[in-house]
Structure 1
Amino acid sequence: MKVSCFKCQHFRVTWDQNNPRGCAAYQFKSKQLPSIIVKQSSGMDCMQFSPKQTQEDRR
């Protein structure tokens, strides 16, 4: 399964212009999507991926 940060509850958009994308689970910010950084660093897909709840899930 390919991890999509945009669909993960841990993904954050930051105010930092140099590092606009962040991951709350791994506690870092970067220019690239966090899932790409994790894959490059560990060779594995992100193990912290957790799908965002949709409005339907909240009901």
Structure 2
Amino acid sequence: MKENNQKRINCFDCIHLQITWQPATPYACKAIGFKSKIIPSMEVFKNSGSQCMHFTPKPKVK
């Protein structure tokens, strides 16, 4: 069994996450341009086997 030592990407920390308020597709990724029922980074990993390459952290608030 292959171990995945990479840290899972949290879309809630990414500037590209958008909440759509549509029950069927509540999450969207503005960078890639799609809506999903699940968090976009999980959708990307499920379909490509790779971590999202568009993750951009939100600026830290002081």
Same fold (TM over 0.5): yes
Tell me the distance in 2 between the aligned counterparts of 1:54 and 1:10: 15
Q: Does 1:35 align with 2:41?
A: yes
* In 2, Cα distance between equivalents of 1:21 and 1:54: 22
Deviations 1:5-57 (A, max 9, x none): 0000000100211100110001011110000100011100000000001223x
Runs of 4+ in 1 over 3 A off after TM superposition: none
TM-align CA RMSD? 0.9
TM-score (norm 2): 0.83
Aligned residues: 56
Structure 1 unpaired stretches of 5+:
none
Percent identity at matched positions? 41
Provide TM-score, normalisation by structure 1.
0.87
Query: What residue ranges of structure 2 are gaps of 5+ in the alignment?
Result: 1-6
